[in-house]
Amino acid sequence: MASEDVVGKSTGESAVTTIVNLAEEAKLARKGVKAPGYAVLSICKSLVAGGVAGGVSRTAVAPLERLKILLQVQNPHSIQYNGTIQGLKYIWKSEGLRGLFRGNGTNCARIVPNSAVKFFSYEQASSGILWLYRRQSGNEEAQLTPVLRLGAGACAGIIAMSATYPMDMVRGRITVQTEKSPYQYRGMFHALGTVYREEGFRALYKGWLPSVIGVIPYVGLNFAVYESLKEWLIKSNPYGLVEDSELSVVTRLGCGAVAGTVGQTVAYPLDVIRRRMQMVGWKDAASVVTGQGRSGGAPLEYTGMVDAFRKTVRHEGFGALYKGLVPNSVKVVPSIAIAFVTYEVVKDILGVEMRISD
């Protein structure tokens, strides 16, 4: 069988790739078409669509993204940013327009491949899971349930986040540094080299564990809620929102907004802890980041994720786990919505046909 050939091609082939090949061949077999090799062009188009979606959405909300991170990690004994409006005004007054977009270049350099891999992995994981689900249930017309979509979204998020985590780590540090910082990272590659040289390879993955845990509810719920809401709207067509079996861009924007709100609210405390752990060991950030509730110049010392949770709550209260939630809420809703819509629009323009419902 063709699927057996796929499994036997290489012992080093990833499980995800194997499932992708099986799913693609199964779909083609049902259509009576001989399975070709891996559909490289279609994959590249999907990756491009995901990359464009990530870059556009993050650039649109870059000022709010930077303010969120500053609120998450600032020293509680040296408050400079005290709310969304005041924080944006302070950045504008002290750093100008460039300050509002500080770190955005690094963020785009990270988010483009991250989003590309995430969206692509989700479609492929969904196709594989659906194929396995139909095979196990014996129902060739079965569709993904919300739980299965959650699993596919979580897998996609973990794969994408792990692949680009070092870039996210240094992006956080570049974002919080100002012109008054004692040491300046000159860019992403300079920051990567400096952290590796001064703190070691493991430092590039500080905060990785809460990131992985946070990916499950955040990305998983984003995809699950978005896809399920879209499917429900198409089937029930409330208020005449469906035209020619398709949702309008505005309706899809709304679905993305709802999905983003649910995901970010559930996972936010893990994002705060992740960002604080990324600052550990950065001696030149002592006057910027949180100092465990002690004197302003005290360095951060977390032995792990649980220790970071414990010390944050002990010295600053439970509310510290939601610092920056307001600008993040304002940011994440349009960001996720724009990302989803841009992805689907670019896919349509490029002629990508990879929907699992085909």
Question: Average pLDDT of the chain?
Answer: 78
Reported as type and span, the H/E element at residue 243 is: strand 242-243
Taking residues 12-36, what's their average pLDDT?
40
pLDDT band at 281 (very low <50, low <70, confident <90, very high): confident
Cross-strand pairs, 289? 74
Reported as type and span, the H/E element at residue 124 is: helix 104-137
For 287, residues 6+ apart whose C-beta sits below 8 A from its C-beta are 75, 78, 296, 297
* Amino acid 264: pLDDT: 81
pLDDT single digits (tens) 328-347? 888 877 877 788 788 888 88
pLDDT at 35 over 50: no
Q: Which stretch, 119-123, 187-191, 216-220, has highest mean pLDDT?
A: 187-191
Q: Which residue has the higher pLDDT, 201 or 248?
A: 201
**CA gyration radius, the chain:** 22
pLDDT at 10 over 50: no
* Amino acid 243: pLDDT: 65
Q: For the chain, how far is it from start to end, CA to CA, in angstroms?
A: 23
Cβ(21)–Cβ(1) under 8 Å? Answer: no
Residue (of 229, 240, 238, 231) closest to 336 by Cα position: 229
